[in-house]
Structure 1
Amino acid sequence: MLTLYFSKGSSALAAHILLHEVGASFESCEVPIASGAQKAPEYIAINPKGRLPALRTGAGIITENPAILEFIAAQHPKAGLLPETTFQQAQARSLCAYLCSTVHVAFAHGKRAARWADDPAAQKAMQARVRPNLLDCAEMLEQNLMQGEWALGDHYSYCDPYLFLVGRWMAAHDLSLDPFPALETHAQAMLRRPATQIALEAHGLS
């Protein structure tokens, strides 16, 4: 049995979607960021980073979305969501690394600027860069990193739930996917999948 530790509206949505997509047997445990529950001793014992998501497996705890998503896909091979060749697998890791280290960080500078600077002026400057940085990221994805209807081409993979978060991160800063037709088409295709709808409901989202 897997246990997904998540906070509603957080990037844990990607793992939540994928777990439903592969038909995994799992439990979910809400750790509300709004109340600071991710810093409570009980959760720090699970993930010392104090971040979400985390996935409890029979072998131990996995953290960080790229690792969690790849693990879920690898543990459910019949779903066919893990790329077949070594090169394709590296491409999947590369895309997820970009989403994690660049796009998500650009978004996080909005509400989490205090992670990187104590000076209010510096925080304000970072916050002012969120919208242009997210637009730059969307352009990079649109023009260079998306490879077809889905993130890696013609077939849905474990990268797609993570890519789906880009539109939500942008919407949180009043940015539209309209100038990015490939990303918009992808977002709409994701919304048509039952697993996405189930996970969105669990997060209290639409």
Structure 2
Amino acid sequence: MKLYYATGTISIAVAIALEEAGLDYDTHQLHFAAGDQQSPDYAKVNPKGRVPALDVNGTILTETGALLDYISSLAPNLMPTDPIEAAKARSVMYYLASTMHVNHAHKMRGHRWADNEASWQDMTAKVPETMTASAQFVEADCLTGPYILGDTFTLADAYLFMVCTWLPGDGVDLAPFPKLRTFMDAMEARPSVKTIRAKGMLG
């Protein structure tokens, strides 16, 4: 397997998951500032021009949630077998993909939604408010213990961790969120995150 990633992006959730699963993988780093994601060579890998992408024996898989589900199929202990518990974990993953990641993206990718640069500035100015609201939701409705499912780590936690690393840079004060801070500390203590941080992939 080869993971295409960019430092500090959501693709690092997949790297953490691969470490948790104990799977062998290679990496290919893209430098967004240099426009690697828009290059003709990368378009052959992922025409969406985004990360992550995972090359599995020549088959390219994309989208963070799908890759985490694929990894969990290879390491079943990383997602619940109980259908209700699995749905709870995935509901957080889908919230991250559909809402919290989008809130974050408004800070630097307003051109996806509007052509007027003044609109981009409005979107950027709104990010601390929308990301704080997302942090409030995570605190009140997603974390039932150190992790999403109490004491049980799942790959959904890798997804949540990576999104939450963006909060300080998005102007969110973490002081009012003790559960979220406990979660981040628990994740930082995991060998997988320590390995990825040592590799410089978290930025």
- For Structure 1 versus Structure 2, the TM-score category normalised by the shorter chain is over 0.9
Distance of 1:147 and 1:12 partners within structure 2: 25
Of 94, 101, 113, the match for 1:104: 101
Residue 192 of structure 1 is matched in structure 2 by 189
CA contact (8 A) 2:42 2:49 kept: yes
Distance of 1:154 and 1:59 partners within structure 2: 37
TM-score, normalized by length of structure 1? 0.93
Q: What SS class does the counterpart of residue 61 from structure 2 fall into?
A: strand
Distance of 1:176 and 1:17 partners within structure 2: 25
Q: Any stretches of 5+ residues in structure 2 without a counterpart?
A: none
Of 164, 167, 173, the match for 2:164: 167
Q: What SS class does the counterpart of residue 107 from structure 2 fall into?
A: helix
1:92-171 superposed matches below 5 A: 92-171=89-168
CA contact (8 A) 2:17 2:158 kept: yes
Q: What SS class does the counterpart of residue 5 from structure 1 fall into?
A: strand
Distance of 1:92 and 1:55 partners within structure 2: 22
Letter in 2 for 1:132: E
TM-score, normalized by length of structure 2? 0.94
Shift of 1:205: 4.1
Distance of 2:12 and 2:165 partners within structure 1: 11
Deviations 1:99-155 (A, max 9, x none): 111111101100111111110111111111100000000101111122222112220
Of 83, 86, 91, the match for 2:88: 91
CA contact (8 A) 1:4 1:16 kept: yes
1:31-110 superposed matches below 5 A: 31-58=30-57, 60-77=59-76, 80-110=77-107
CA contact (8 A) 1:107 1:134 kept: yes
Q: What SS class does the counterpart of residue 174 from structure 2 fall into?
A: coil
Distance of 2:104 and 2:2 partners within structure 1: 26
Q: Any stretches of 5+ residues in structure 1 without a counterpart?
A: none
Percent of aligned pairs with the same amino acid: 36
Distance of 2:5 and 2:163 partners within structure 1: 18
Shift of 1:171: 1.3
